[in-house]
Amino acid sequence: MRKKATREKIFPKIRYKRAPIWTYFLLWCVGIYCKIRFGLRYNRDQIKAVKKIKGPIVILSTHPSPMDTVTTANAILSKRPSMLSSRMLYYYRVYRLMIKALKNTIPKKQYLTDIECIRHIKKMIDAKVSVLIFPEGRESIDGNFQGFTDALGKLIKWLRVPVVSIHSPGCFLTRPRWLPGFRIGRIETEVKILLNADEVDTLTAEEINSRVRAAIDYNDFDWQARNKVEFKSKEFKRAESLFRILYKCPACGAEYKNISDGDELRCTECGNRVVVGPYGEMTALDGGVSLPRIDKWYRYQQDMLLEEIKRKGQDYSISTEVKRAEYDWDKLKFVYKESGVLTLTLVGFEFVGDTRKIQFVRPNNPPAIHSDLYFEKIILFLEDDPHEFTCTGYERPAKFNQVVQAMSSAFPTELRKKQPQST
């Protein structure tokens, strides 16, 4: 039985107060660095207007990459808000230290409805502390807006405070999920006072959702093409690691056969070659086949999967060989346990290993999984216990994520009830 004290080491008690000044001073310093290094810009008039709002506010920010925590925090320094953070981050020492320093961070169970988190938000607003929410609930994989749950409008109406939106084009392309580092281009953080308290009262939840969607909908690749912003790195060529998300060849349909070669993505099955241009555009070489852009290629894969899953229904499954690690509550880190196979069907995830067989619920709110594209990891939860699966293929986490999404689109509700409970 896990001791309560151990749990509290991971999830510290939440303080319903503004974050300490020194933490936001540090974030401000990081912001200065980002301005110099990554070309970060702000619309300062709106930042000044937000500063003048008396009382707590709800801040809704897009979540294209880890970078936006800094860009967003710098836009609302005056509020020193409480930030919603994935419970997953609490399990890693470095993130846990940052969360503990802020003292008022609210943990959120990703991909599941979390009533406890909602209660914390309400208590924070009642204590006159602003709250920063990332409505998408996960980082983008393809540089596109990931959507949010319809419950957001109801939550905003319940809280009855002004709403500010923040959106940072360029954030995703500075630090895309498939790269282990940064590229230099430009980031334009746009702050907007979206709703005043009266509008929150008079508009319906659906109208509020529409306003929010219109304010924070984004596509970094569209923005890049429109503004002709190039993202450069001495270390990473344009197609570096792209095979981690673009796993399907549009010429022969083969999967897991693409490799990166400088600015080119090449299929080792049929030899199809595609070159990535300075503004994200993709062009086929030697009469080959390509999609016009990285995000459109990713979408093509999603569409193909959706079609396949609709066609096969209960017969669809995807498997990968994995190494399973469990969270050790004494050492407070992941510890390797065994090898096995992880399978996903409409019913849910199942791991069959050398010693154990474990079933996991398929996340559905939003439909996505914890994944690390660079270290090829998928993380699934049994209550508070995370299990970390290191895949054998570079592309598996991205494909599993797309499968979860496609399953949810193909069969939105009826199959959820049949999913296994955590065992």
Nearest CB to Zn ion, comparing residues 259 and 335 = 259
Nearest CB to Zn ion, comparing residues 269 and 281 = 269
Beta carbon of residue 284, minimum distance to Zn ion (angstroms, whole number): 11
Nearest CB to Zn ion, comparing residues 248 and 324 = 248
Which residues, at least 6 apart from 64, have a Cβ–Cβ distance to it below 8 Å? 139, 140, 143, 168, 171, 172, 218, 220
Backbone angles phi, psi at 61, to 5 degrees: -120, 145
Nearest CB to Zn ion, comparing residues 248 and 293 = 248
Nearest CB to Zn ion, comparing residues 286 and 383 = 286
Nearest CB to Zn ion, comparing residues 254 and 304 = 254
Residue 253: count of CB within 10 angstroms of its CB: 12
Beta carbon of residue 270, minimum distance to Zn ion (angstroms, whole number): 3
Nearest CB to Zn ion, comparing residues 242 and 249 = 249
269 binding Zn ion? (CB under 5 A): yes
- Segment near Zn ion (CB under 5 A); pick from 158-166, 230-238, 269-277, 394-402: 269-277
Beta carbon of residue 207, minimum distance to Zn ion (angstroms, whole number): 47
Beta carbon of residue 272, minimum distance to Zn ion (angstroms, whole number): 4
The one among 75, 76, 267, 403 contacting Zn ion by CB under 5 A: 267
- Segment near Zn ion (CB under 5 A); pick from 56-64, 152-160, 267-275, 374-382: 267-275
Residue 262: count of CB within 10 angstroms of its CB: 12
Beta carbon of residue 381, minimum distance to Zn ion (angstroms, whole number): 36
User: Three-class SS string for 189-216?
Assistant: EEEEEEECHHHHHHCCHHHHHHHHHHHH
Rounded to whole angstroms, what are the CA distances from 101 to 19, 24, 83, 86? 8, 10, 12, 16
Beta carbon of residue 267, minimum distance to Zn ion (angstroms, whole number): 3
The one among 26, 53, 205, 270 contacting Zn ion by CB under 5 A: 270
Beta carbon of residue 257, minimum distance to Zn ion (angstroms, whole number): 6
Rounded to whole angstroms, what are the CA distances from 275 to 321, 360, 362, 379, 394? 31, 39, 36, 33, 20
For residue 24, give the amino acid letter.
Answer: Y
Site for Zn ion in 236-265 (CB under 5 A): 249, 251-252, 254
Rounded to whole angstroms, what are the CA distances from 14 to 21, 105, 124, 242? 17, 7, 10, 39
User: Three-class SS string for 128-147?
Assistant: CCCEEECCCCCCCCCCECCC
- Segment near Zn ion (CB under 5 A); pick from 11-19, 268-276, 359-367, 408-416: 268-276
Nearest CB to Zn ion, comparing residues 98 and 254 = 254
Question: Closest by alpha carbon to 9, among 325, 379, 331?
Answer: 331
CA dihedral sign of residues 97, 98, 101, 102: negative
Nearest CB to Zn ion, comparing residues 88 and 254 = 254
* # residues near Zn ion by CB under 5 A: 8
Backbone angles phi, psi at 394, to 5 degrees: -60, -35
Beta carbon of residue 49, minimum distance to Zn ion (angstroms, whole number): 52
CA angle in degrees (0–180, nearest 5) for 9-359-419: 110
Beta carbon of residue 418, minimum distance to Zn ion (angstroms, whole number): 37
Site for Zn ion in 63-82 (CB under 5 A): none
Residues in touch with Zn ion (CB under 5 A): 249, 251-252, 254, 267, 269-270, 272
